[in-house]
Structure 1
Amino acid sequence: MICPFCNRNLLLRERPNRTCSHCKRRYALDPKTNSLGMSDARVQRLLPKLTDGGRLKISINQLGAAALPKTSPPKSHSPAVTALGCLWVPLLVGVIMVLAGTNADGVSGFTVFGSILIGVFVLGMIIALASGKKKPTPNPLSGFRSMMLSDWVGVYGALPPGIVDDFPYRRVYLPDGARLAVLCPDRAIAAFLAANGMPERYGAVIATEVEQVPEALPVLVLHDASAPGCRLVIRTREALPGRTVIDAGLPPRAVMRTPGAPARRGDEPAKDLIEWLGESGTLTKDELEWLAGGWTVALVAIRPAKLLAAVGRTVERLAAATPADPERREAEAVGFLTWPGEAGR
């Protein structure tokens, strides 16, 4: 790896305890010893691009989404599938022994031991099925965040310049003359919007839960292109009857066929959730099939400058529109954020 201080190419033996043997300075991330393959140099290369030359502040998860490999994580398997993979050998041997034993007179040892092996397989399957549902695919962003807060802060004393950690308000930040609310359950994006002055610039309340949305204000819902994200919009309208609730996106239709969109495939959502979304009439058949396949595009994966500009345009149009304005009625129906063209870049 390259030393982030003296730029020397270091072999593993030349960097004991994450310390360069040439300049004697300690660094935070070694790609050979952390599970995500991160290095200080990679983080430092990404920062100018993601922060738009230092003009923006971004969250740890936005940095992680850009730094981590773009390949989709492996899908997890159910316990029954795992058991089948581990126990197929005793099952096969057991069947062969039982068949061999049936050709002998009386009950042979083959039959007894074969039956035992088959019983082991059956018992393993019963235990696996009784152990519960399959485990969800682990989120690599959680590992990246922990690594930055422990290893990076431990060495440098603070996060890199321009990086903020999580939503900075323990209560809803209500600016003077608040005109609208932005509901975004992703605390990393909520932190990003707040850190870049959206409350002050637009009179926008930033909330991560429906219960935090003040009364009377119109609500702009910002979410991932995912089954839970699409559900959030419907649930918000149910929780706030009579209120203006706009689906600001990310809509699946805008990204599922966009070249270069940062789509990832994980665990498939529950079938009843997909059926419920279909009954709502808010998604097309193609969108439902895409979501059912476990595909998602996360807001943290959208380039920060592009995301901030798109949300800003949406907020400006919502704040300027009157209740009778045709633009607002159209926005309520389809949302402002259509993410054309270079959505994933």
Structure 2
Amino acid sequence: MICPFCNKNLLLKERPNRTCSHCKRRFALDPKTNSLGMSDARVRRLLPKLTDGGRLKISVHQLGAAALPRTASARSQSPVVEALGCLWVPLLVGSIMVVVGVSAGDMDGFTIFGSILIGIFVLGVTMALTSKRKPTPNPLSGFRAILLSDWVDVYGALPAGIVDDFPYRRVYIPEGARLAVLCPDRAIAAFLVANEIPERYGAVIATEVEQVPDALPVVVLHDASAPGCRLVMRTREALPGRTVIDAGLPPRAVMRTPGAPARRGDKPAKDLVEWLGESGTLTKDELEWLAKGWTVALVAIRPAKLLAAVSRTVERVGAATGQDPERRKAESVGFLTWPGEAGR
């Protein structure tokens, strides 16, 4: 890694206890000791892009999401595929030995030993099929703690432009509130508050439906995922008679977009996908995409594009408050008009 102070290229042995052996200064992040491979220099390279040259503030997890490898899948191979990768040699050798043994009339040595090798292969695949798959770990797990402890320990505060992930104990209610934004992702809630969405548009920022004030129209923000799509329907059930606008992120906006930060995790329950299908709000292609475990998280969307999309929607909904024809028009907007490129 490159020392953030003297710019020397440091081998692992040259940076004990996160201290440069050349300039003797301590740095915050060693790429070998955190799951995202982050270093002080990389954080500083990412910040200008993510904060739009310092004009925006972003949350800790938005920074972490930008550091994830740009890959179509964060999911490890299935147990069966892993088993095939490990056991193909016994299968191949065993098959050859059985064929040679039968051809040579040796039904004892080659044939028996080859059969044992084939049996090992079959046993391994059977165990893989019957084993329970471990949950896919969150790649951002622990990143917030590392930044809050190690970075703050070295530099005294979070990097300029970074805010903690919604540390507020109470719902944020601005004076003269005209609508509520429901977003269960605390990182995005913090992002909206830090960039003054409440003050600019009279928007209450809530992370739970129970926090939504009475009477206000509700704009729901969610990941492009099965649980995210379910949130909208659950909110309408919890708030009957209330205006509830699905502001996305819709699967169709990202599932065929080149460069979209889609990640494939554990498949959602079959009954959840069927329930979503019965709602009539998703296409067949969207349901198939969701059923495979694909998701695009709001934190992975480039902050400037996300803020612009949210601003457009809450501005239109806020302006329509109290005007029935216009409100109906705002409701018909439905999903956010997301940019064609869903990259960071």
* Runs of 5+ unmatched residues, structure 2: 103-107
- Cα distance, 1:265 vs. partner? 2.8
Match of 1:56, SS? coil
Match of 1:340, SS? coil
Letter in 2 for 1:154: D
Is 1:40 aligned to residue 47 of structure 2? no
- Find the counterpart in structure 1 of residue 105 from structure 2: none
Residues in 2 aligned to 1:91 and 1:41: alpha-carbon distance in whole angstroms: 48
- Find the counterpart in structure 1 of residue 235 from structure 2: 236
* Runs of 5+ unmatched residues, structure 1: 103-107
Residues in 2 aligned to 1:28 and 1:96: alpha-carbon distance in whole angstroms: 56
Range with bigger deviation, 222-231 or 87-96: 87-96
What RMSD over aligned residues (CA atoms) do the two structures have, in Å?
3.2
Residues in 2 aligned to 1:119 and 1:258: alpha-carbon distance in whole angstroms: 45
- Asked whether the 8 Å contact 2:174–2:199 carries over to 1, the reply is yes
Residues in 2 aligned to 1:181 and 1:137: alpha-carbon distance in whole angstroms: 33
Q: Residues 5 and 216 from structure 1, CA distance in 2 versus in 1: closer, same or farther, beyond 3 angstroms? A: same
Q: Residues 327 and 136 from structure 1, CA distance in 2 versus in 1: closer, same or farther, beyond 3 angstroms? A: farther
Q: Residues 85 and 176 from structure 1, CA distance in 2 versus in 1: closer, same or farther, beyond 3 angstroms? A: same
- CA-to-aligned-CA distance 1:265-324 (integer Å, 9 cap, x gap): 312533522222221110112222222333222111122122122212211111111465
Range with bigger deviation, 314-323 or 110-119: 110-119
Range with bigger deviation, 209-218 or 288-297: 288-297
Match of 2:274, SS? helix
Residues in 2 aligned to 1:42 and 1:117: alpha-carbon distance in whole angstroms: 49
- Cα distance, 1:164 vs. partner? 1.2
Residues in 1 aligned to 2:98 and 2:14: alpha-carbon distance in whole angstroms: 60
- Find the counterpart in structure 2 of residue 54 from structure 1: 54
Residues in 2 aligned to 1:224 and 1:185: alpha-carbon distance in whole angstroms: 9
Residues in 2 aligned to 1:22 and 1:92: alpha-carbon distance in whole angstroms: 53
Match of 2:26, SS? coil
Residues in 1 aligned to 2:202 and 2:215: alpha-carbon distance in whole angstroms: 14
- Asked whether the 8 Å contact 2:171–2:205 carries over to 1, the reply is yes
- Find the counterpart in structure 2 of residue 212 from structure 1: 211
- Cα distance, 1:95 vs. partner? 9.4
- Find the counterpart in structure 1 of residue 21 from structure 2: 21
Letter in 2 for 1:305: A
Letter in 2 for 1:53: G
Q: Residues 130 and 174 from structure 1, CA distance in 2 versus in 1: closer, same or farther, beyond 3 angstroms? A: same
Q: Residues 74 and 341 from structure 1, CA distance in 2 versus in 1: closer, same or farther, beyond 3 angstroms? A: closer
- Asked whether the 8 Å contact 2:35–2:143 carries over to 1, the reply is no
- Find the counterpart in structure 1 of residue 164 from structure 2: 165
Is 1:277 aligned to residue 276 of structure 2? yes
- Asked whether the 8 Å contact 2:183–2:189 carries over to 1, the reply is yes
Q: Residues 33 and 173 from structure 1, CA distance in 2 versus in 1: closer, same or farther, beyond 3 angstroms? A: closer
Q: TM-score, normalised by structure 2?
A: 0.83
- Cα distance, 1:85 vs. partner? 6.1
- Cα distance, 1:238 vs. partner? 1.3
- CA-to-aligned-CA distance 1:32-83 (integer Å, 9 cap, x gap): 4444321111101111222223232210111111122212444245556656
- Pairing of 1:324-335 with structure 2 (within 5 A): 325-335=324-334
- CA-to-aligned-CA distance 1:177-209 (integer Å, 9 cap, x gap): 221110001110001111222222222111111
Q: Residues 197 and 14 from structure 1, CA distance in 2 versus in 1: closer, same or farther, beyond 3 angstroms? A: same
Is 1:200 aligned to residue 199 of structure 2? yes
Residues in 2 aligned to 1:36 and 1:173: alpha-carbon distance in whole angstroms: 31
Residues in 2 aligned to 1:158 and 1:325: alpha-carbon distance in whole angstroms: 47
- Asked whether the 8 Å contact 1:80–1:125 carries over to 2, the reply is yes
Q: For this pair of structures, how many residues does the alignment match?
A: 342
Q: TM-score, normalised by structure 1?
A: 0.83
Range with bigger deviation, 60-69 or 237-246: 60-69
Q: Residues 56 and 325 from structure 1, CA distance in 2 versus in 1: closer, same or farther, beyond 3 angstroms? A: same
Letter in 1 for 2:311: G
